[in-house]
Structure 1
Amino acid sequence: MSGDRARPDLSAALAVVLAVPVVAGSLLVLAVAGKLVWPPYFWALPAGWALLGGITFVPAVEHFLLPLTFGMRQPTTRELARLTPSWQAVCAAAGVDGDRYRLWVDRSRELNAFAAGGRTVAVTRTALELPPPSLEAILAHELGHHLAGHTRISLYVWWLELPARLLTRLLRLVALAVPYVGRAFAAFGRSVAVLVTVLLSLGILTALAFLDPWLLLAPLLGPVLAWSKRLGEYRADLVAARLGYGPELISLFREWIRASGGDERRMWARLLAGHPAHVDRIKRLKDRGFRG
C-alpha cells in the first residue's frame, strides 16, 4: 500500500457528513452576526471564516494549533532517537515520506497514540517504552488513519465548528445561572419564579438545538457516531496488518486484555464505544487471515 493509492474510506466520509449540521449552525451564527454588523453583506463573515479555515491545511498552522488543543509536546532528543527509526521503518513499508509528518509526545501516562490533522502523529511516554516491533505496530496503525483520510479534514471541520462550539459553551455557562435568576423573581411569587425559570430554560435549549441539531437526536445518533469511529479503527488496524504488523498488533491487543483483566463489555457499552473491544479487533484481523 502506498500513500499515493490511499483514499478516504467510509469512516472519513461519515465524519464529514455527521459534522454538517454543526458546521451549518456555526455558519448561521456568523451570518446572523454579519447581518447585525453589515446587513448588505451578511454573507461575508461566514464566507470569510470558511476561507480563512484553509490555513489549517498549512503545516506550520497545524503544528501550532494541535499541541495547544491536545496538550502535546516535542520529543526530547532521547525520545526522538527511539521514535524516529520505528517511524521511518513504518513509512518505508508503506512507501510514504516519513519526513512530511511531525512526531509528538502525548503527556498521558496511558499506552496510547493518535493521529491528527494531515501531518501529526503522537505517542505517549508509555508507548515509547515498548520494544521496537510493538512501537512500530502502533505507529503503523496511526499511519493507517492518515492514509485512510480519517484526520486530514478534521482540523478544518474543527475550525468551521468553532463559533458554534464557543457559543454553545457560553450558553451552557448561562444555563448554570438560570436557577439563580429564577430565585431573583421569587419576590413576585413562586409561580412567577417558576415561569421565568422555565422560559429561560426553553430559550437556552432552543438556542443549543439551533447551534448543534445533533443534540436532539443524540440518543439515536450516538451509536452511529461510535460505529463510524470503530470503522476507522478497524481500517487503521487493517492498514497496519497489511504493512506486516498484524502479529504485533494481535499480541499488543492480547497484552492490553491481560493488563485490564479482560475485555468484556455490555451491549450498550459496545454500541457507544468509539474504539472496538480488543477481542473484536483480534477477531477482525484473524478473519482477514492475519495470525498472532
Structure 2
Amino acid sequence: MSSFVVVALVAGVISATAWVVWVVVGVWVLSGGITFLPAVESGLARLMFDMRVPTAVELGRVRPLWESVCAAAGVDSARYTLWVEQSKELNAFAAGGRTVAITRRALDLPPRSLEAILAHELGHHLSGHSRASLLAWWYELPAQAAIWLVGMAMRVVLVVASAFARFGSAAGALAGVLLALTLLVGLIALNPWLLLMPLLSPLLAWSRRLGEYRADATAARFGYGPDLVNVLSGWLSAEHGVRRSFRVRMLSNHPATADRIRRLRAGR
C-alpha cells in the first residue's frame, strides 16, 4: 500500500493529469510480472545476494544430487538454476521461482547431507515461499526507496541543526529539529505501517518460521527426514548450547534448531 502511494505521488509530480497517474500506477502494478522471467530473476538474484555461476567442478558435484532430489519429488530438475553463494557459512536458500543457491562450505558436506539441504530448499519452491518473497521484495522497492531518501534528508537536517547549535544559533537549531520532525511525520503518513512494525515484525517472523517447518516436512516427505536431522544435529552441536533471548526468538526468521529436530522426529 505504501509503495502504491509513493508511485502515485511520483506520477503526480511527473504529470497532473489523472489518467497519466493511473497509467503509471497500473504499469507499476503489472511490472511485478517481469520477476517471473528467468533472465530477470537471475539478474535480481545477483543483486539481492552475492552469488555466482558454479564452476564445472562444483556443478559436477551438486547437479547429480539436485537431480536425485528432484527425482524423489517427481519434478523436473531443469526448471531450476543452481548457484553458489560467496559465503563461508554453511547455508543454502531458494529465491524466486527457479533459483537454488548453496554456499561454498555446503559443497563440502557428505552427499546425502547436501541432498537433504537441497530437498529443504525445493520444499520452499514447491510451497511458493520463494516466489512470494521475491514478489514482495519487488513491490516494496518504492516504499523502501522513499524511507531511505527521507531518512537521509533527516540526517542531513539534524547535522545542520547540530552545527547551528554549536555556533550558538538556537533558532537555527530549533528550525532544523522541527524540519526533521516534519519529515518524520511525513514518512509515517507515507508509510503508516511503520507504526505497526513492533506488532507486525513478530508476526512476519512467525510466518517465516512456519515456512521453514513446512520446507522441513516436505524434505522429510521425499525421504530425507533422517538426513536432515543429522545435518541439524551438527548445527545444534556447533551452537554450543547458546540460548537465544525471548526477543531474538520472536524476531528470528528461522526456528530454533532443536525445535526443527523435534518436529522432524515427531513426523510433523
Within 5 Å, which residues of 2 pair with 1:148-163?
148-163=127-142
Match of 1:145 among 124, 134, 139: 124
Give distance in 1, aligned partners of 2:153 and 2:77.
47
Answer yes or no: is 1:180 the counterpart of 2:159: yes
Distance 2:186 2:78 in 1: 45
Q: Verify the 8 A CA contact 2:65 2:114 in the aligned structure 1.
A: yes
CA distance in 1, matches of 2:3, 2:176: 27
Verify: 1:260 aligned to 2:235, yes or no: no
The alignment's C-alpha RMSD in Å is 1.7
The letter of the residue matching 2:13 is: L
Can you list the C-alpha shifts for 1:112-146, whole angstroms capped at 9, x where unaligned? Answer: 00000000000000101101100000000000000
The C-alpha deviation readout for 1:226-247, integer Å capped at 9, x for no partner, is: 1011000000000001110110
Residues 4-27 of structure 1, C-alpha deviations (whole Å, 9 max, x = no match): xxxxxxxxxxxxxxxxxxxx1112
Cα deviation code 1:141-199 (max 9, x no counterpart): 00000011101132222222212211211222222212222145556842x23432332
Deviates more, 1:77-86 or 1:146-155: 146-155
CA drift at 1:263: 4.6
Per-residue CA distance 1:189-224 (angstroms, 9 max, x = gap)? 42x234323322222222332343332122222211
* Equivalent runs, 1:44-55 vs 2, <5 Å: 44-55=23-34
Moved over 4 A (4+): 184-188
Q: Which has the higher contact order (CA 8 A, sep 6+)?
A: 1
Hey, what does 2:2 align to over in structure 1?
Answer: 25
> AA paired with 1:83?
V
Report the counterpart of residue 64 of structure 1 in structure 2. Answer: 43
Counting aligned pairs with the same residue, the percent is 54
In the alignment of these two chains, the number of paired residues is 265
Q: CA deviation at 1:85?
A: 0.7
* Superposition deviation, residue 82 in structure 1: 0.4
- Choose which of 217, 225, 234 in structure 2 pairs with 1:238: 217
Q: Look up the SS of the partner of 2:216 in the other structure.
A: helix
For residues 27 and 145 of structure 1, do their structure 2 counterparts lie closer, same or farther at Cα, with a shift above 3 Å needed? same
- The answer for unaligned runs of 5 or more in structure 1 is 1-23
Deviates more, 1:192-201 or 1:96-105: 192-201
User: Distance in 2 between the 1:71 and 1:210 partners?
Assistant: 34
Match of 1:203 among 182, 196, 199: 182
Once the 2 structures are TM-superposed, how far is the Cα of residue 266 of structure 1 from its aligned partner?
A: 2.3
CA contact (8 A) 2:158 2:180 kept: no
Show the 5 A alignment for 1:64-143: 64-143=43-122
Structure 2: runs of 5 or more not aligned? none
- 8 A Cα contact 1:257 1:263, kept in partner: no
Query: Aligned with 1:285: secondary structure?
Result: helix
- Could you say which residue in structure 2 is the equivalent of 1:36? 13
SS at match of 2:253: coil
Determine if contact 2:158/2:177 at 8 Å carries over to the other structure. Answer: no
